[in-house]
């Protein structure tokens, strides 16, 4: 086995597993992307007949009837999609990610990666996996509240020049990037939990504590192992931040394409990071 010295080595080892020989390892990625695209499609058609019969009263009550009109419906689309993706992440993406972990463990044991078999094994830990999937959401809720407080404090700065003025600007404009870094940090903190649940058959609470034991001494390797693939999301983040200007230059439909692209990229990042964590865990278990 290659000696693991850097995050790049782990990432290379993980990406080497995604070959046509183990083609079923692509299934979780394909299914997650398919479900998200299907939801995007349904939500895009939500204000139109016949789906409007169900969605129009909901949208009118929650956001206002104006969001049923073009192009405001497209402005609302990312928001509704975000809520839908949370549900999908909790109940579908989480278990399919766990299936990927099981397939990697199978390959490591020189067994074929068969989606159906891995799914059957992973589904036994479904509850633990769903609870694990809730953890980053809880951490994010805490972050949103904390950052909200920071923004409120920054809002009280009335200087129009100097250090405090720039600090205020920074706090306001850095929000998505702070979220991005925080997201990587939280993922790094919790990444070995699904690996432990699937490979070691641990329950969620044991996995939570053992996770920190695995992280001990390799936190920064894990952090950069997650940071590197996550960097592919930065262009999308930039696009999202400038969505209004982009829509003015092109068409309001650009929203749909950006969401579709982000589905592909975020799913690939998610699968890649969990795969790398699995590879690194297996390496650590066998060699250290």
Partner 1 sequence: MKKLLLTLGCILLVIYAVLTALSWGDGYRSERKLWRLNHEFSYLATHNDSTPDFAFEQMARKYRAFIQQSPSAIFAARGQMMLGNLYAVRKDYPHARDEYQKAVGSDDEISAQAQMSTAKTYELENNWQQAHDTYQQIVKDYPTTNTGFFVSMYLAKHDDSYDSALTFYQNLANQHPKSTLEYNALRMIALCQLNQHDWQATVQTMRDMILKYPKAMAIKEAVNTINLLTVTRLHDYDMGIQIYQQFIQKYPDHPADPLLQKMIKDLQLLKSKNLNIRFGQAPLPKKL
Tell me: does residue 18 bind partner 1 (CB under 8 A): no
User: Rounded to an integer, what distance in angstroms lies between the CA atom of residue 157 and that of residue 155?
Assistant: 5
Rounded to the nearest whole angstrom, what is the least distance from the CB of residue 199 to partner 1 in the complex? 25
The alpha-carbon radius of gyration of the chain (Å, integer) is 21
Out of 69, 160, 161, 287, name the contact with partner 1 by CB under 8 A: 69
Rounded to the nearest whole angstrom, what is the least distance from the CB of residue 282 to partner 1 in the complex? 24
Our CB check for partner 1 shows the closer of 36 and 211 to be 36
CA atoms within 13 A on the CB side of 12: 9
Contact segment (CB under 8 A) with partner 1 among 66-74, 103-111, 121-129, 220-228 equals 66-74
Residues 237-256 that bind partner 1 (CB under 8 A): 251
Q: Whose CA is closest to 44, among 259, 240, 241?
A: 259
Return all residues near 176 (Cβ < 8 A) that are at least 6 apart: 237, 240, 241
**Angle subtended at Cα 227 by Cα 225 and Cα 232, rounded to the nearest 5 degrees:** 120
Size of the site for partner 1 (CB under 8 A): 23
Rounded to the nearest whole angstrom, what is the least distance from the CB of residue 143 to partner 1 in the complex? 31
User: Rounded to an integer, what distance in angstroms lies between the CA atom of residue 95 and that of residue 84?
Assistant: 16
Residues 25-54 that bind partner 1 (CB under 8 A): 26-27, 30-31, 34, 37-38, 41-42, 45, 47-52
Residues 249-288 that bind partner 1 (CB under 8 A): 251
Tell me: does residue 24 bind partner 1 (CB under 8 A): yes
Our CB check for partner 1 shows the closer of 31 and 154 to be 31
3-state class (DSSP) for residue 258: helix
Our CB check for partner 1 shows the closer of 119 and 192 to be 119
Rounded to the nearest whole angstrom, what is the least distance from the CB of residue 69 to partner 1 in the complex? 7
Give the H or E element holding residue 28: helix 27-44
Q: Whose CA is closest to 194, among 137, 122, 246?
A: 122
Q: Which residue has the tokens 């850097």?
A: 6
Interface ranges with partner 1 (CB under 8 A): 20, 23-24, 26-27, 30-31, 34, 37-38, 41-42, 45, 47-52, 69-71, 251
């Amino acid at each position: 086995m290659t000696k693991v010295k850097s995050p790049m080595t782990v990432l290379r080892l993980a990406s080497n597993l995604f070959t046509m020989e183990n083609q079923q390892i692509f299934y979780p990625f394909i299914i997650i992307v398919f479900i998200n695209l299907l939801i995007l499609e349904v939500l895009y058609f939500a204000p139109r007949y016949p789906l409007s019969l169900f969605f129009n009263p909901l949208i009118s009550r929650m956001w206002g009837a104006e969001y049923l009109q073009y192009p405001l419906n497209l402005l609302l689309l990312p928001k509704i999609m975000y809520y839908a993706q949370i549900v999908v992440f909790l109940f579908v993406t989480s278990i399919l990610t766990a299936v990927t972990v099981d397939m990697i463990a199978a390959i490591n044991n020189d067994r074929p990666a068969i989606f159906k078999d891995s799914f059957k094994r992973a589904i036994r830990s479904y509850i633990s996996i769903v609870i694990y999937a809730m953890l980053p959401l809880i951490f994010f809720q805490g972050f949103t509240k904390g950052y909200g407080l920071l923004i409120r404090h920054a809002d009280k700065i009335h200087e129009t020049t100097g250090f405090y003025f720039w600090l205020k600007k920074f706090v306001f404009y850095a929000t998505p990037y702070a979220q991005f870094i925080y997201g990587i940090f939280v993922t790094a903190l919790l990444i070995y939990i699904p690996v432990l649940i699937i490979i070691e058959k641990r329950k969620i609470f044991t996995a939570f504590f053992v996770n920190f034991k695995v992280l001990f001494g390799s936190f920064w390797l894990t952090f950069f192992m997650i940071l590197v693939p996550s960097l592919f999301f930065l262009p999308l983040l930039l696009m999202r931040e400038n969505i209004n200007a982009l829509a003015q230059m092109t068409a309001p439909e650009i929203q749909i394409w950006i969401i579709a692209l982000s589905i592909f990229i975020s799913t690939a990042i998610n699968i890649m990071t969990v795969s790398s964590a699995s590879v690194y865990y297996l390496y650590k278990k066998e060699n250290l």
